[in-house]
């Protein structure tokens, strides 16, 4: 199960790197943090999973979208 989740994380990471629209990259990064929290839970690291869910999925996404609001959305 962990290998399948790691493959999904690699697919999303490559997509967030090659995407030209930065909103799509932010969505992919949010999905990456979600899957990372699940992997941490599967390996019995509950405190790390709680921190990853709070910081990675919540605060980082909000800060990225807030920064995109003030800058350009297209990757140059």
Of residues 26 and 76, the one with the C-beta less far from other proteins:
26
> Are 52 and 37 in contact, with CB atoms under 8 Å apart?
yes
CB of 76 to other proteins, least distance (A): 13
CB of 69 to other proteins, least distance (A): 5
> Are 38 and 5 in contact, with CB atoms under 8 Å apart?
yes
Distance between CA atoms of 27 and 13, rounded to whole angstroms?
11
Residues that bind other proteins (CB under 8 A): 1, 4-5, 8, 11-12, 15, 21, 23-24, 26-28, 30-31, 34-35, 37-38, 41-42, 46, 49-50, 53-54, 57-62, 65-66, 68-69, 72-74
């Amino acid at each position: 199960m962990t290998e399948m989740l790691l493959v999904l994380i690699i697919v999303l990471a490559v997509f967030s790197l090659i995407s030209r629209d930065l909103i799509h990259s932010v969505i992919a990064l949010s999905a990456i943090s979600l899957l990372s929290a699940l992997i941490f839970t599967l390996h019995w690291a509950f405190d790390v999973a709680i921190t990853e869910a709070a910081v990675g999925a919540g605060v980082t996404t909000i800060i990225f979208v807030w920064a995109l609001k003030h800058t350009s959305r297209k990757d140059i």
